[in-house]
Amino acid sequence: MARAKQLRSLKTRERLLGSAREFVSDVGFEELRIEDLVSTVGVAKGTFFAHFKDKDSLMDILIAERINALLDDMETVHNFDSVEHVVASIMPLLMFISSERYVFDIFLRLSGALAVEEIGKIAETIYRYDCILIDRLKSGPFRQDISAELLSEGIQAFSVSSIALSLCALHSEQNLENRLVIQLNAWMCPS
């Protein structure tokens, strides 16, 4: 009996996740409403909260799934040979993160950057992203006075800054990619 209950619970969780993926595909991350989700799945709101602490914990899973798919593609890239190669390789990820202000907000809050106590799925993707960058930077034509780890941290910091500026009406005159190329050239290849 306990096993059947556990199986039913797992199926309910997967139905919630599947419907949430469909909602996000149709209306975006921010517009997903828990009320609509539970109504579609045919469960009580309390059932949702039995599986997820809140909407953010659901978003942690859904956003991390998308990031991991983009990181799968990034892993096929060979060592970076220029700043432009770095930027071209990370742009799909950055375009997703900046696709909605809500996604960017959740990404920042759950990335671990804001000292969140729990390490969630998004934070795990940041670690994976860092490992990929470090590996691809080790033999590039970039400054040698600092480690690949520090180069990776700089790329991530400038990426977040560039996204934030691209979402700001006061700084929207320059696109994300161009801004990032300029910043990373100054950081990674100083004259």
**What is the structure's pLDDT at 191?**
75
**What is the structure's pLDDT at 186?**
94
**What is the structure's pLDDT at 9?**
82
- Model confidence pLDDT, tens digit, residues 174-191: 789 999 999 999 999 987
Say how far apart CA 124 and CA 111 lie, in whole Å.
8
Please give the domain boundaries of the chain with CATH numbers for all domains.
1-52 (1.10.10.60), 54-188 (1.10.357)
**What is the structure's pLDDT at 118?**
67
Q: What are phi and psi of 10, to 5 degrees?
A: -65, -40
**What is the structure's pLDDT at 35?**
95
Cβ atoms < 10 Å from Cβ of 180: 25
Whether the pTM exceeds 0.85: the reply is: yes
**What is the structure's pLDDT at 5?**
65
What are the percentages of helix, strand and coil residues in the chain, rounded to 5?
70, 0, 30
pLDDT mean by block of 10 residues, the chain; 191 residues? 73 95 95 95 94 94 97 94 96 96 93 65 94 92 94 96 84 83 93 75
**What is the structure's pLDDT at 168?**
79
Say how far apart CA 20 and CA 25 lie, in whole Å.
8
